[in-house]
Amino acid sequence: MNKPFFSLQLAKSSGAFFVLDATVNPALDDAQSSRVGLYLKNMEPNIVNSLSPNIIVLRGFPSISRANSLPLHAQWKMEFETNNVNAPYYHRPIDAANLNPELPLSRLYYWSPAFKLPGTSEDIMLCSVPLIDSRGHVFGVCGLEISAMLFKLSNMPQRGTYQRMFCVFSPITENKIDLQKSMFAGGYSAKMTSKGNTTLKISDQGRSFCSYKQSQGRNHSFLGFHKPINLYSRNSTFSDEKWVAALMIPEMDVVSSITRLNLMLISLLTILVLLGIIAAFFLSKQFLKPFFEGLDIIKSENLSEAPRTQIPEINDLIDFLKVHNEELYEKAKQENLSLSSLDEFLENTEKLTPSERLVFNHYVKGYTPKETAEELFLSINTIKTHNKRIYTKLNINSRDELILYVKLLKEIGKEIADQGDQ
């Protein structure tokens, strides 16, 4: 218990574990793929405040949990499922150690791509190393976890002009990024929009940005940068596995920025046209009426049914505005679609009971669970019970994720109504 517990506190990780090549009951049907061990998780992997981590038991004997006053995770199981499909973090380091007994542990560790443990809901990456006894016998693995929430909190990009900028950490094969094996940080996730097409193909355009495109499905495309990341040394067993870190922006956002620039140019052009109309008014009244007719058409709400004028320039301007209005309308629909997850979170807050809403409001104001319990004169166990119900109704996993959603809503100008404090 002590080694993974203190390792978890010292390392900037969200979990620590070990798995032994043994099972409690070899007579069970699934004994061949069930292994005993211990898995501790920090449910609040906030790198800013690590003084009071909320550590719980995800895998392991319940007696260990009781003896150390640690709660069991809602998705707790006693043993690990270690079939070849679900547990590369277990089999690959063990196989590497058995095939290369002369290599030190520093050449045998393995980083798993993002995946979900069977029976859990959060993406994680595991760094595992084989356990070897003094006689060279491999009897299990141990390692640390990086959860999707910890990755998001640690690598949130600083967004300026482009609010939907996000970063990706992913294995790369044949110049392609597998989104299902990637970690994401930012208010927008390419994984959420993939819908069956999980591969991004990297296209070097020979300019400042690279292009990342889906070859099938909805054909989302992104612009950005990427850089190779070496997770292994040259003579490591897994040195042939390549990883990249990338910073991306949806291509439609760049197009929207260019569109706004074009609208500014159109506005300047409109001003010039108005100045011309004023000049024409003073030069000759006979030109005044057709220009005002053209302006009335430009100001109309439905340019698609606008009649032709006697001035070719006005007709060209109307046609130009028609096209741009249609483009802006389509982009506005896409913007609303990409914010659906935030809208869903905002709607879910209406499902909270008055007592749950009180706890939720205190978290929004920055209170910790302990401070919230003191403010509301409740026990910490009652607060934990409210937390589970709040997280379930909001479809989140922790208070940090709750605060992150609230922050993102504020950034896009949506405030959560402060109810339940009466």
Q: 238: which 2 tokens?
A: 């897994």
User: Binning pLDDT at 50, 70 and 90, where does residue 233 land?
Assistant: confident
What sign does the CA torsion over 294, 298, 299, 303 have?
Answer: positive
According to the model, what pLDDT value does residue 418 have?
A: 66
User: Binning pLDDT at 50, 70 and 90, where does residue 101 land?
Assistant: very high
According to the model, what pLDDT value does residue 328 have?
A: 46
According to the model, what pLDDT value does residue 331 have?
A: 47
CA 55 from centroid of its chain's CA atoms: 23
* pLDDT tens by residue, 287-336: 556 666 666 665 554 556 666 666 777 777 777 766 755 654 454 444 44
Query: SS3 string of 96-159?
Result: HHHHCCCCCHHHCCEECCCECCCCCCCCEEEEEEEEECCCCCEEEEEEEEEEHHHHHHHCCCCC
According to the model, what pLDDT value does residue 220 have?
A: 75
According to the model, what pLDDT value does residue 336 have?
A: 47
Inform me whether the pLDDT recorded for 255 exceeds 50: yes
Q: Region 92-98: what's the mean pLDDT? A: 95
Inform me whether the pLDDT recorded for 217 exceeds 60: no
Q: Region 171-194: what's the mean pLDDT? A: 80
User: Binning pLDDT at 50, 70 and 90, where does residue 50 land?
Assistant: low
Q: What is the DSSP string of 295-340?
A: HHHHHSS-GGGPPP-S-HHHHHHHHHHHHHHHHHHHHHHHHHHHTH
Q: What percent of the chain has pLDDT over 70?
A: 81
Backbone dihedral angles phi then psi of residue 226, each to the nearest 5 degrees: -145, 155
CB 261 within 8 A of CB 254: no
According to the model, what pLDDT value does residue 403 have?
A: 85
Average model confidence (pLDDT) across the chain: 83
Q: Are strands 124-132 and 138-147 parallel, antiparallel or unpaired?
A: antiparallel
3-state secondary structure of 225: strand
